[in-house]
Amino acid sequence: MKNHNYLPSKILEGNERALAKAISMIENQEKEGIEILKKLYKKGGKAKVIGFTGPPGAGKSTIIQCLASILSERSKVGIIAVDPTSPFTGGALLGDRIRMQNLFTNPNIFIRSMATRGSIGGLAPMTLDVVDLLDIAGYEWILVETIGVGQDEVDVAMCVEEVVVVLVPGLGDEIQALKAGIMEIGDIFVINKADKDGSELTYMEIKNFLEMEGNKDKMPKIVKTKAISMEGISELAEILKDDLKRKEKEKNLTEKKKNQLKTRLFQMLTKEFQNVFNQKKELEKTIEDLFWRKTDPYTAVEVLKKEILC
Amino acid sequence: MKNHNYLPSKILEGNERALAKAISMIENQEKEGIEILKKLYKKGGKAKVIGFTGPPGAGKSTIIQCLASILSERSKVGIIAVDPTSPFTGGALLGDRIRMQNLFTNPNIFIRSMATRGSIGGLAPMTLDVVDLLDIAGYEWILVETIGVGQDEVDVAMCVEEVVVVLVPGLGDEIQALKAGIMEIGDIFVINKADKDGSELTYMEIKNFLEMEGNKDKMPKIVKTKAISMEGISELAEILKDDLKRKEKEKNLTEKKKNQLKTRLFQMLTKEFQNVFNQKKELEKTIEDLFWRKTDPYTAVEVLKKEILC
């Protein structure tokens, strides 16, 4: 076994290779990686963590690229891509990749894509561990890109401080319905490719949705961008900063953060629960009995509950 | 407390009001409802359970309506709607409602919509309980309509014998990406509104997807329908019956059913686990410590694990 005792101090110094190594260890749920996080956890808590969500093709990665460029002038910026179709995770067109070269060579920007689907123990808990490591390593802004479909991604979105929903003009009614789950968690809405036809219509649709759903006092802001030529990005950065400042003053922020911690604990513990469940010797026999209808699901659950839960 | 002792025998006789009453009791997780299911569970296991999924607007409910009409000529048919946008659950246009009158007055058809989101203990376990009750009450075909987005619905789909994915021509690339999770669980694909432009393109897209993903030997069938005028529905019914017959002969059917039972047990037990978690006295203190970074998530989970899991 290799000695990784040097990692914690290197991470605190801001060494990127040490950070990358620790992230891999955490992704593989290696004991040593977990020990590093345990040891360093108290050093974190300073980063601003922003989630970006929205349908594939809306331009989330381009928005994140541009925003990271601006923010990196004054701060260290971490990017975590959870979306498998993202250029950050290799799912890019050539043009995207070329544009992204600048980011990869910027010393103030650290980019990491997460192994998606089927990662050990679920995506959300893992992503939050990586957020912690970046936070500990001194990244002031952490931008998390998710695909915006499915529970995993919604879970991630619920664990960040601010959710930016990226949309494009011309999404039909059907896709709007699919997005319903995302719409409700957005703090800021971006209409990207705002020079495209239908931009005004999309603006009105979002506005109507928010007015129907929302609290008039803290209506989410809607920003129009054309990320590919940086239009609207400075405005988005300012709105983000303002919104975060506003939130810091809110009384219920502590409550919200505690709820997020509760969700995180629950997700991590569910993984443990699943392991215990799968390893129960009685499980196979119970399933066999259920299959032959010698028992019923409720009785089976009562029996297993006594075996598994204290 | 009312006496519901008469319910089990009435349900077995096929009394619809007794059935409806028992379903409501199960939906509310009333102890007596659970007792009924426990008592009658061994009477079930004969129904063919088919899940219908696909994006809103694809015409799932119309397909189900038409199919139910055909199947009800020879059998009792139960319909369970889990999709909140479905006409079965009240989210209908006037035209839909009028067409559906026939179904509601057909003595061989029983329709039930499920309370969605926020239902006690998750949608999937509840839906399966209702499936059991219909099965016990002698419904030979049970058609379950889900919205096809989100984990709940995928979970439901994974617990039926056959999954029919309903699509329409003209869905763009973006929506295709969103649907990826559904595509993989489909046993039969329906292209509804097949007279619309782009029908052939959609056919090719589905075919390509299936050929790329799949096992050549048991390629899912693709059926074109125009449900509103009953076109293609008899063909769909035949394909369904053939596919179910083919499956019964397959060796791995038992294995698949046992896996489904395992999933169901896990979901039910997760609900119990969540209750225990939420009621833990130590939880609040742990979250407080986490918030102030006096502990870290992994240590917190280790502590809670000892308290909660045997």
Residue A271 inside a domain? The answer is no
Of B128, B132, B258, Cβ closest to residue A291: B258
Question: Which residues of chain B have a CB within 8 Å of the CB of A178?
Answer: 55-56, 149, 175, 178
Residue A270 inside a domain? The answer is no
Which residues of chain A carry a pLDDT beneath 50? Answer: 92-93, 118-121, 174, 177
Whether the pLDDT of residue B96 is over 60: the answer is: no
Residue B222 inside a domain? The answer is yes
B20 plus B163 within the same structural domain: no
A259 plus A202 within the same structural domain: yes
Residue of B nearest to A283 (CA): B262
Condensed to tens digits (0 to 9), the pLDDT of residues B21-50 reads 999 999 888 999 999 999 999 999 999 999
Closest-CA distance of chain A to residue B111, Å:
24
Summarize the confidence of residues B161-169 as an average pLDDT. 89
Number of Cβ within a 10 Å radius of residue B278: 10
Question: Which residues of chain A have a CB within 8 Å of the CB of B129?
Answer: 297
B157 plus B290 within the same structural domain: no
Instruction: Look at residue B81 in the predicted model and tell me its pLDDT.
Output: 86
Instruction: Look at residue B85 in the predicted model and tell me its pLDDT.
Output: 60
A149 plus A166 within the same structural domain: yes
Low-confidence winner among A161-170, B143-152, B154-163, B252-261 (lowest mean pLDDT) = B143-152
Asked if A291 and B85 come within 8 Å (Cβ–Cβ), the reply is no
B151 plus B293 within the same structural domain: no
CB distance A149 to B178 below 8 Å? yes
Contacts of A106 (CB under 8 A, 6+ apart): A68, A69, A72
Asked if B265 and A177 come within 8 Å (Cβ–Cβ), the reply is no
Question: Which residues of chain A have a CB within 8 Å of the CB of B286?
Answer: 265
Residue of B nearest to A147 (CA): B178
B82 plus B200 within the same structural domain: yes
Instruction: Look at residue A196 in the predicted model and tell me its pLDDT.
Output: 86
Contacts of A76 (CB under 8 A, 6+ apart): A14, A108, A109, A110, A138, A139, A140, A141
Closest-CA distance of chain B to residue A105, Å:
31
Regarding predicted confidence, which is higher, B260 or A159?
Answer: B260
DSSP B246-306: HHHH-TTHHHHHHHHHHHHHHHHHHHHHHHHHHH-THHHHHHHHHHTTSS-HHHHHHHHHH
Domain count, chain B: 3
Of B261, B274, B277, Cβ closest to residue A287: B261
Q: Give the domain-ending residue among A42, A57, A75.
A: A42
Of A85, A261, A272, Cβ closest to residue B290: A261
Asked if B177 and A57 come within 8 Å (Cβ–Cβ), the reply is yes
Asked if B298 and A34 come within 8 Å (Cβ–Cβ), the reply is yes
Instruction: Look at residue A155 in the predicted model and tell me its pLDDT.
Output: 67
Residues A207 and A221: their CA atoms lie apart, in Å, by 9
Domain range for B284 is 280-308
Residue of B154, B264, B265 to mutate, interface with A, max A Cβ within 10 Å: B265
Instruction: Look at residue B202 in the predicted model and tell me its pLDDT.
Output: 84
Residue A275 inside a domain? The answer is no
Residue of B272, B282, B283 to mutate, interface with A, max A Cβ within 10 Å: B272
Q: Provide the angle, in degrees to the nearest 10, between the axes of the packed helices B253-279 and A282-291.
A: 120
Instruction: Look at residue A174 in the predicted model and tell me its pLDDT.
Output: 44
Whether the pLDDT of residue B191 is over 60: the answer is: yes
**What are the structure tokens assigned to A184, written together?**
């409700």
Condensed to tens digits (0 to 9), the pLDDT of residues A88-111 reads 655 544 555 556 667 778 899 999
Of A41, A181, A309, Cβ closest to residue B273: A309
Residue of B42, B126, B173, B178 to mutate, interface with A, max A Cβ within 10 Å: B178
A95 plus A33 within the same structural domain: no
B140 plus B174 within the same structural domain: yes
A145 plus A167 within the same structural domain: yes
Asked if B38 and A298 come within 8 Å (Cβ–Cβ), the reply is yes
Whether the pLDDT of residue B11 is over 60: the answer is: yes
Residue B274 inside a domain? The answer is no
- Greatest Cα pair distance, chain A, in angstroms, is 68
Instruction: Look at residue B228 in the predicted model and tell me its pLDDT.
Output: 84
Strand ordering across the sheet containing A141-145: A109-113, A77-81, A141-145, A48-53, A162-167, A188-191, A221-224
Residue B297 inside a domain? The answer is yes
Instruction: Look at residue B174 in the predicted model and tell me its pLDDT.
Output: 45
Asked if A270 and B273 come within 8 Å (Cβ–Cβ), the reply is yes
How many contiguous H segments (helices) and E segments (strands) does chain B have?
A: 13, 7
Provide the CA A283 distance to its chain's centre, in angstroms.
34
Question: Which residues of chain B have a CB within 8 Å of the CB of A45?
Answer: 293
Whether the pLDDT of residue B118 is over 90: the answer is: no
**Amino acid, single-letter form, for residue A54:** G
* Integer angstrom CA distances of residue A237 from A66, A69, B15, B305: 10, 11, 63, 41
Residue A136 inside a domain? The answer is yes
B72 plus B148 within the same structural domain: yes
B23 plus B148 within the same structural domain: no
Residue A159 inside a domain? The answer is yes
Question: Which residues of chain A have a CB within 8 Å of the CB of B54?
Answer: none
The domain spanning residue A178 has which CATH number? 3.40.50.300
Low-confidence winner among A105-109, B61-65, B252-256 (lowest mean pLDDT) = B252-256
Question: Which residues of chain A have a CB within 8 Å of the CB of B291?
Answer: 254, 257-258, 261
| Pairing, β B77-81 against β B109-113 | parallel
Residues B177 and B183: their CA atoms lie apart, in Å, by 10
Of A258, A269, A307, Cβ closest to residue B310: A307
Instruction: Look at residue A145 in the predicted model and tell me its pLDDT.
Output: 87
A97-105, long-range: CB within 8 Å, 24+ apart, which pairs?
A: A99/A62, A99/A65, A100/A61, A100/A65, A102/A69, A103/A65, A103/A68, A103/A69, A103/A79
Of A38, A55, A273, Cβ closest to residue B298: A38
Q: What is the 3-state secondary structure (H, E, C) of B226-240?
A: EHHHCECHHHHHHHH
Residue of A38, A202, A296 to mutate, interface with B, max B Cβ within 10 Å: A296
A140 plus A94 within the same structural domain: yes
